[in-house]
Amino acid sequence: MSPYAATLRDIRAAATRIAPYAHQTPILTSSAIDDMAGRELFFKCENLQKIGAFKFRGALNAILALSDETAARGVVTHSSGNHAQAVALAAHMRGIPATIVMPSTSPAVKQRAVAGYGARIVLCEPTLAAREIDAAKVIDETGATLIHAYNEPRVIAGQGTVALEILAQVPDLDTLVTPVGGGGLLSGTAIAAKALQPDIQVFAGEPSGADDAARSKDAGRLILQTEPNTIADGLLTSLGSNTWPIVRDLVDGIVVVEDAQIRQAMRLIWERMKLVIEPSAAVGLAAVLSGHVPGSRVALVLTGGNLDLDPMFR
């Protein structure tokens, strides 16, 4: 029996379950960025996934796996970002109600996107405690199932399908790199990659202003995030009880980068690859360009492309 919340078998089952609905996103390359990095880089474009982020995979897998009786009572989550949109769309596709608890400070563009997928939005105070309390109220009132953003096993399995695709698309890789926030993508990637190619190295990039995963690895125990502050707003959460053991045991290293490095990496991808990505998606490239990620053939996950464009058009 596996000591972890998800297994390769779970990830393969997730791949089969979501295949009719999720995009198999492309791998793109840039010779200019390769020259800067001094190695071959392969960019997995999850910014081109439905809802503009990898989060759709995990939310869809978790929601499709619910029994009809459970699904009929609906789903709930608390999120201000890509997971909110992912749960809203996945629930819409299954034809079940979804309630998304969002901080009152959530950008209007994100609230519009969630509402556009047919979900009910409950606004709360911008604290984790408030989000959890309001989500619990929805569960008590409706019997809805909580779809956690990263600590739910079927969410982890769904995110692991990214690595399955990468390994099928690009042969002879040395290293896989993802950003890390709550650790769902990193955990799923590590499980899939280490099971299929035990000699591959799995690394993560993490902002210095939200470096709980790096500090946890160094200490050998889970250290929760307290006051995160970074441009990479998708990486503000702490590792969870299910993601931490996987990160602890299977991830080879976490590279901490500054916001200035993240901005530089994001600008490179915008200018050289003509891809719209959000700051969190640039953290992996920032880590590679820092020189602290090994390997001559490295795959990086561009996790999302959901930018708040409202300030540009005021």
194 classed as catalytic = no
- 98-103 sheet: strands from edge to edge: 120-124, 98-103, 75-78, 145-146
Buried b (16+ CB within 10 A) or exposed e, 261-289: bbeebbebbeeebebbbbbbbbbbbbbbb
Contact status, residue 298 vs residue 36, Cβ threshold 8 Å: no
Sign of CA dihedral 85, 158, 252, 35: negative
80 classed as catalytic = yes
Q: Please state whether beta strands 98-103 and 120-124 pair in parallel, antiparallel, or not at all (unpaired).
A: parallel
Which of 44, 55, 110, 194 is the catalytic position?
A: 55
Scan for tokens 């299910």, then name that residue: 242
CA distance 197 to 309: 40
Which of 80, 106, 238, 280 is the catalytic position?
A: 80
Q: Which is nearest to 28 in space by CA: 46, 15, 10?
A: 46
Report the catalytic residues: 55, 80
